[in-house]
Homo-oligomer: A and B are copies of this chain.
Amino acid sequence: MPLTLEDIARKSGVSRSTVSRVINGDEKVKPDTRDKVMAIIHEYNFQPNLAARGLAARRTNVIGLVTPAGVSTLFTDPYFPRLIRGVTSACNARQYTVMLWLAEPEFERRTISQILHNGLLDGVIVSSMVMDDPIVQSLSESNMPFILVGRHPTLDVNYIDVDNVQGGMDATLHLLRQERKRVATITGPRNMIAGFDRFQGYKKALQQRRLPVLDELIAEGNFLEESGYEAMKKLLPGKPDAVFAASDAMAFGAMRAVREAGLRVPQDVAIVGYDDLPAASQVTPPLTSIRQPTERMGSLAVDTLIDMIENPMPQTRHLLLATELVVRSSCC
């Protein structure tokens, strides 16, 4: 049986409350007794029961990470593990732990209310990509502190995100700087905020160069390889000499289509992707891509959330992290 505060109190000759104070870093406890108690705590490697703490103080040092089940497949690769790593690592450093909620559609109803009412969570990080995810609505109607990973287009809620607009713009501008005249794009789903924003970036880049945005140079994909292949086949009749694909997976598909058409990458069609998957540096030719600080985003989400939990303040927080263009031979 695990020890309790009472046990520690008895062993160190003080009262339960004093031990509690020591553990919670209360100022007004005599250094002597503090040290004495600490010694015992370490000797027995005492860990307070979080359930009991949760009951008594409404504070468990647990945060929830909620993510729709689709995400991990959709962003084929390292997005999800990187985010988790960032989140858990920040939690480790701050004495918090993570509860994971993969929201599967069939358990949707149960999920949301469980998250809000189970009394085990101090706050929630939501990594949703769909624009109209109902969970966001529920959350903002509750008084549970929460932060979105991925900005929300309409509601004024706390979020952290990668600057997808800037990323899309950087990618497109890079192609334009290579003297490419007909720069096409393969977008992500327009109802996903990342797909939407990267497309905005593409348009901003063209506008900055006073170039027209041509329908024949725009095709929508779903971030996956196959959709990039199909989209590129639709674009080829428009004679693009470059294409910005909103994901690396789609960029790979596009490369495949370009070659099947007897064209060369990058001589005939230059390509820039997005995500900087491990595979990006290994395909031939290596893919120029936009790298996102996914892991750092996870850590910052935790830091921000904990800050919100510990010092509740009314103001809304919006963080946008810069991306980085990684130039490889597929574009020049």
A117 x B49 contact (CB < 8 A): yes
Q: Does A200 contact B (CB under 8 A)?
A: no
Instruction: Give the Cβ gap from A247 to chain B, nearest Cβ, in Å.
Output: 13
Number of interface residues of A (CB under 8 A): 50
Mark A278-303 against chain B: 1 for CB-CB distance below 8 A, else 0: 11001000000000000000000000
Mark A194-237 against chain B: 1 for CB-CB distance below 8 A, else 0: 00000000000000000000000000000001000000000000
Q: Among A28-36, A81-89, A152-160, A179-187, which stretch is in contact with chain B?
A: A81-89
A252 x B282 contact (CB < 8 A): yes
Report which residue of A51, A102, A116 has the largest number of chain B beta carbons within 10 angstroms of its beta carbon.
A51
Q: Does A164 contact B (CB under 8 A)?
A: no
* B-facing residues in A42-84 (Cβ within 8 Å): 45-52, 54-55, 60, 62, 65, 69, 72, 76-78, 80-81, 84
Instruction: Give complex CA distance A62, B51 in Å.
Output: 11
Instruction: Give complex CA distance A258, B47 in Å.
Output: 54
Further pairs besides A51-B118, A52-B55: 11, Cβ < 8 Å? A2-B119, A47-B113, A49-B119, A51-B52, A51-B120, A72-B85, A84-B102, A88-B102, A92-B104, A93-B107, A120-B120
